[in-house]
Structure 1
Amino acid sequence: MVRTLAASALLLGVAAPAAQAQASVLGGDAAACTGGAGPAVLATIIGLKDRSGELKLELYPANEQDFLRDDRDLIREGKVFRRVRAPAPASGAVQMCVRVPHPGRYALLFTHNRDGRNKFSIWSDGAGFASNARLGRSRPHVQQATIDVPAGIMQVNIRAQYLHGLSGFGPMND
């Protein structure tokens, strides 16, 4: 009887939302968020310009000297750096997960690599941070990207921002 009810629920789609929610978490660290293992950051990305290219979530040390430094240098020096990538999904909510080595303070960067090259292009690509402060025209500062990650799963919303002429980077609806 229980097996029949479970099968009926699956056929009717009752269990589908939970499966879809887990399946929608992108990146190589998705299991850290969907399995509740942590510590990890589950970022919900909003405001994508389109669904082209690749999405990246990067974790840096939370200090101005190391923020946005070349990953090879950070890794060689034994500093925190983690990157997860995923193709932009054709539709639906966008959630990405990145594992962190231990609870603590980090800097988190989201980028939307729209042109398919592995180098950030200010002309076409997008970026965002957990603070969701307007990026403008200058290089971002670490305080815009700093987050405090607990032992579990930290959830953040990141609004993607793209170049808007002379005013610099901002959300698409500005």
Structure 2
Amino acid sequence: MLKVLPRKEYRKVGAPLTALLIALGFAAAPATAQAIGPQAAACDRNTSSVLVHVEGIRARTGTLRVQLYEANPRTFLEKRQYVERVELAVPRSGPLNVCVAVPKPGNYALYVRHDANGSGKSDRSDGGGFSGNPHLSLGDLVFKRKPALTQTQFSVGNATREIRVTLNYVQGLSFKPLGA
């Protein structure tokens, strides 16, 4: 029969029991979201990688592209200067947790693009976002102004780093997250 301990008794037993379970290898692994994409194994192995939680998608259509850049102002968002690129069809359901393998620990920045109609060309139906979720205006898009690297960069060590990116879409004369 299982005996429920009073709270003060649990505190006395809790720490030593936890230490014993860790020593015996029974510690729970950190909870990580299920990774998708062609590089999902890197996140599953908890190696140098980024698990990008893409939020605020307008429609479950088209393709999703995640590009990883070194935190270098000369190469950030420049054509073909990304370190890694993952492109996949948007799944019909479930969370969008895209894994991107990182070649080595360091400082990086991410750009996520939702090509809603899968045309491969930028148009008003597409959405996008960056690590750090900086505010962008429609003018920034029109004049191709980059967000500050200091707002988008993050560091990755020898384990999976989780990052949230909220997508923005053109809404009237604004470029913002849905519902904002």
Same structural fold, with TM-score higher than 0.5 when normalized by the shorter chain: yes
- The code of the aligned residue for 1:126 comes to G
* Counterpart mapping for 1:1-174 below 5 A: 22=34, 25-36=35-46, 38-71=47-80, 74=81, 81-121=83-123, 123-137=124-138, 138=140, 139-141=145-147, 142-167=149-174, 169-174=175-180
Give the Å deviation of 1:41: 0.2
Give the equivalent residue in structure 2 for 1:7: none
TM-score with structure 2 length normalisation?
0.73
Q: Highest CA radius of gyration, 1 or 2?
A: 2
Which residue pairs with 2:14 in the alignment? none
Q: Distance in 1 between matches of 2:150 and 2:59?
A: 28
* Root-mean-square deviation over aligned CA pairs: 1.5
Q: What is aligned with 1:11? A: none
Q: Is the 8 A contact 2:65 2:88 kept in 1?
A: yes
* Mapped partners of 2:85, 2:153: distance in 1: 16
**CA distance in structure 2 between the partners assigned to 1:108 and 1:144 by the alignment:** 11
Structure 2: how far apart are the matches of 1:152 and 1:51?
30
Match of residue 30 from structure 2: none
* Secondary structure, aligned partner of 2:150: helix
Shift of 1:55: 0.8
1:61–1:67 contact (8 Å) kept in structure 2: yes
Q: Identity percentage over the alignment?
A: 37
Once the two structures are TM-superposed, the CA of residue 143 in structure 1 deviates from its matched residue by: 2.9
TM-score of the pair, normalised by structure 1: 0.76
Question: How far apart, CA to CA, are the structure 2 residues paired with 1:120 and 1:145?
Answer: 22
Q: Which segments of 5 or more consecutive residues in structure 2 lack a partner in the other structure?
A: 1-32
User: Is the contact between residue 124 and residue 163 of structure 1 (CA under 8 Å) also seen in structure 2?
Assistant: yes
The answer for unaligned runs of 5 or more in structure 1 is 1-20, 75-79
Q: Matched residues in 1 for 2:74 and 2:48: separation?
A: 24
Number of aligned positions between the proteins = 142
Task: State the AA in 2 paired with 1:107.
Answer: A
Contact 2:65/2:87, CA 8 A, preserved across alignment: yes
Greater helix content:
1
Question: Which whole-Å CA distance do the structure 1 matches of 2:170 and 2:118 have between them?
Answer: 17
- Offset, 1:92: 1.5
Which ranges of 4 or more aligned residues in structure 1 deviate by more than 4 Å?
Answer: none
Alpha-carbon displacement from aligned partner over 1:32-85 (angstroms, at most 9, x marks no partner): 00122x2000011111001010111101121222111111xx3xxxxx521011
